[in-house]
Chain A
Amino acid sequence: DGGITQSPKYLFRKEGQNVTLSCEQNLNHDAMYWYRQDPGQGLRLIYYSQIVNDFQKGDIAEGYSVSREKKESFPLTVTSAQKNPTAFYLCATRDGSSTDTQYFGPGTRLTVL
């Protein structure tokens, strides 16, 4: 898991509620990512940020929002507009050096009740 923390580990949401997933890193990496993983599937990109105060939509951004006010933090809000939010959410960083490796947090499992 390296220097990336995600909280909470498990999250339960009632329909119609917004919830925010936390992602914090102490790796001093500029780029941060949010992915969604459904059972038996690969990771799908929700949002990414290459630098503070800047972020771009990924392939499945509808119903999600993010902010990047600090280099260390990239919170993801799952809004009530997301029709099927139950999934495993993974936050990642990229070191941007010549190795260009991605590092992942431990994930948050969100369940809609």
Chain B
Amino acid sequence: KQEVTQIPAALSVPEGENLVLNCSFTDSAIYNLQWFRQDPGKGLTSLLLIQSSQREQTSGRLNASLDKSSGRSTLYIAASQPGDSATYLCAVKGPDSSASKIIFGSGTRLSIRP
């Protein structure tokens, strides 16, 4: 059974720092991995999606990497800003396109100090 873990549960860093959020999964047979952002009391917003055949995806200051063999993904945020404060969740889907179950991690709550 696939399990997704995000450590740490909470992280606080000063503004301007580069930071890395971690996501690990137990079954490497995944179809894709998606990173989401969630603001308090709101729905999830998709940030990046990495297909199983890809190693990384980039969008602006965000870069997500995927290492299937080790069951890990990282979300790199460059030059952090107070507006980046939110909870970040990763989710894995797999192992094939017809499999509809998506397993979520419990998230990392990120706080950027001005």
Contact = CB atoms under 8 A, between A and B. Distances in A.
Genuine A/B complex:
yes
Interface string B31-44: 11010100001111
Interface stretch (A12-20, A63-71, A75-83, A101-109): A101-109
B21 interface: no
Interface of A: 1, 4, 6, 31, 33, 35, 40-45, 48, 50, 56, 58, 88, 90, 92, 94, 99-107, 109
Nearest to B9: A40
B100 A1 contact: no
Interface in B8-52: 9, 31-32, 34, 36, 41-46, 49, 51
Contact of A42 (B32, B42, B106): B106
Contacts of B100: 31, 33, 48, 50, 56, 94
Nearest to A48: B100
A43 B34 CA distance: 13
Nearest to B87: A40
A48 B101 CA distance: 9
Interface stretch (B59-67, B69-77, B78-86, B89-97): B89-97
